[in-house]
Amino acid sequence: MTKVRLLDSIFTRLVAWSIAVCIVVVLIIGALVGAKFEQLSTASKEASVNTDTATLIAAYDEGGIGAVEQRIEDRLAFPAPAGNGPHYLLVDSDGAKIVGNLPAWPTGPRADGPIGTIALPGGGTGRARAIAFPDGRLLVARETSLDAMILNEIGLAFVAGGLFVVFAVGVAGWITARRLSRRIDRVIGAFVNPDQTRLDLLERGRHAEDEIGELTRQSSAALQRVNRLVDAHRETLDQIAHEMRTPLMHLDSRLMRGMRAAPDEAVAQGLLEARADIRTVIAMLESLLDISHSEANRGDPRGLERVNLSAMLQDLADLYAGSAEETGHRFEVDIAPGIAINGEPMQLTRLVTNLLDNAFKYTPGGGTVRLELEPGPTITVADTGPGIPYDDRERVFERFSRAKGNHGASGGSGLGLALARAIARRHGLDIVLRPTMRGACFRVVPEAATKDAA
């Protein structure tokens, strides 16, 4: 099963998107709250300035500029909170300071004009209004430094709160993604290897009433149907094999008895040829059944076991080395040690022997047959025989197909390479015919490698 990389996982993307959305939402809410606070704060300061100004105008109306001076001194006598205190400046008609806590008339607001912003001593700012009297001018201001500090505190609170929300969303998203990923992995695992253990695991998620639960239910039902069909296919093939092989074997036995009792040599020769035909039919039937079995079980790991491919091929090489000496072939072997694969030993043995049989059969005496095993695994069977015409490179793997010039003259049924490819694909492998300058070169390679090459 292909492992999905963390960054490619759809769940990782969902969590990342959730965190990104949370960050954006926190920033937007923080900006809106800050803007609203600044608006309300400014309105509050302006209202205080207007109220203070109105009170001092009323004092002037009652007692002139002296009453205003006294009222300002009274107010400045009370301590005010840092960053939020009132500021006053009362000057006479010549601009000389009469009273106030501002050293000089600031630039900005003009007398009887709208409220404006002024710079205060010490670096702060304030909202201020100026009033003109017949014998002087008055400036009333409210410091806004405290509002700026409160706004900064609100910003810091939103940053801290936002980080906590992002962390909480990330943790909750990671936990949820892990749970969903495990449920999806169970479905994928059941498709990769539909054995009973994985189907039982799939059954545990059937009752969830969400989308993955529905996917699990449909996947479980589909895999159960596929398993039933495969089992029915196997049973049918076994029955066909039994019903056909048994009467053919009985017929072969009867012919054997007839040969022993045949008084005529010509009749005995006919019976002998009939037996050969029957054995050819039985061999062909067994090959067809093996091809069907292999194709039906393709991708199904059930029944596979760990096979030491290096040891198996070495045993075959020892076996064929003796035959090569008798037939006058040169047999070269290069087998890498320690290579193993999950498979059926008998089928893998038949796969390699089919290729070796073909190589020795079609290579004239004195020629060379080579068997190699490399990590991958990659099995190579090459010979220096007549080779296979370019147009027949894929057709030789079809059932009952023979290369040009070989229409059964060699005694083959045309099923050997078809069976070899079916067995290879049953084990996640494939057979390819490599281009060579001389002879034929069959390579058994992982099926994924042939797909990548295509």
Element (DSSP H or E) covering residue 394: none
**Where do you find CATH 1.10.287 in the chain?**
194-297
> Phi then psi for 128, rounded to 5 degrees?
-140, 150
Report the b/e string of 306-341 with b at 16+ CB within 10 A: ebebbebbbebbeebeeebeebebebebebeeebeb
The per-residue pLDDT of the chain, averaged, comes to: 82
Residue 194: pLDDT above 80? no
Residue 244: pLDDT above 60? yes
Q: How confident is the model at residue 400 (pLDDT cuts 50, 70, 90)?
A: confident
User: For residue 4, what pLDDT is reported?
Assistant: 66
- SS3 per residue for 407-443: CCCCCCCCCHHHHHHHHHHHCCEEEEEECCCCCCEEE
CA 394, CA 404: separation in Å to the nearest integer?
13
Residue 345: pLDDT above 80? yes
User: For residue 313, what pLDDT is reported?
Assistant: 92
Structure tokens at 370: 């080579």
CA 209 → CA 12, 213, 216, distances in Å?
A: 23, 6, 10
Q: How confident is the model at residue 452 (pLDDT cuts 50, 70, 90)?
A: low
What is 194-297's CATH number, 1.10.287, 1.10.12, 3.30.1340, 3.30.1490? 1.10.287
Over residues 244-254, the mean pLDDT reads 79
CA 251, CA 135: separation in Å to the nearest integer?
141
User: For residue 356, what pLDDT is reported?
Assistant: 92
Contact 128, 139 (CB under 8 A): yes
Strand partners, 139: 89, 130
- SS3 per residue for 198-252: HHHHHHHCCCCCCHHHHHHHHHHHHHHHHHHHHHHHHHHHHHHHHHHHHHHHHHH
**Better-predicted residue by pLDDT, 357 or 408:** 357
CA 182, CA 216: separation in Å to the nearest integer?
12
- Per mean pLDDT, which range of 239-243, 333-337, 352-356 is the poorest? 239-243
CA 313 → CA 250, 333, 338, distances in Å?
A: 36, 9, 11
Structure tokens at 115: 């409220």
> Phi then psi for 158, rounded to 5 degrees?
-70, -35
Over residues 144-155, the mean pLDDT reads 79
Cis peptide before 375 (omega within 30 of 0): no
Residue 93: pLDDT above 50? yes
CA 353, CA 420: separation in Å to the nearest integer?
9
Q: At 346, is the secondary structure helix, strand, or coil?
A: helix
Q: What proportion of the chain, given as a percentage, has pLDDT over 90?
A: 12
Residue 380: pLDDT above 90? yes
User: Which 8-state DSSP code applies to residue 8?
Assistant: G
Over residues 213-234, the mean pLDDT reads 81
How many residues appear in the chain?
Answer: 454
User: For residue 177, what pLDDT is reported?
Assistant: 83
**Better-predicted residue by pLDDT, 115 or 408:** 115
- Per mean pLDDT, which range of 168-177, 193-202, 342-351 is the poorest? 193-202
User: For residue 407, what pLDDT is reported?
Assistant: 47
Q: Which amino acid is at 82?
A: A
Provide the angle, in degrees to the nearest 10, between the axes of the packed helices 10-77 and 145-192. 170
Q: What proportion of the chain, given as a percentage, has pLDDT over 70?
A: 93
Q: For residue range 127-140, list pLDDT tens digits in order.
A: 899 988 888 889 99
Query: What is the pTM assigned to this prediction?
Result: 0.51
Architecture of domain 305-451: 2-Layer Sandwich (3.30)
Over residues 6-19, the mean pLDDT reads 81
Residue 391: pLDDT above 60? yes
CA 303, CA 293: separation in Å to the nearest integer?
12
**Where do you find CATH 3.30.565.10 in the chain?**
305-451
User: For residue 369, what pLDDT is reported?
Assistant: 92
User: For residue 453, what pLDDT is reported?
Assistant: 54
Q: For residue range 414-437, list pLDDT tens digits in order.
A: 778 888 888 888 888 888 888 888
Contact 365, 305 (CB under 8 A): no
Q: At 100, is the secondary structure helix, strand, or coil?
A: strand
User: For residue 389, what pLDDT is reported?
Assistant: 81
> Phi then psi for 64, rounded to 5 degrees?
75, -165
CA 105, CA 89: separation in Å to the nearest integer?
7
Provide the angle, in degrees to the nearest 10, between the axes of the packed helices 265-296 and 416-426. 30
**Better-predicted residue by pLDDT, 298 or 32:** 32
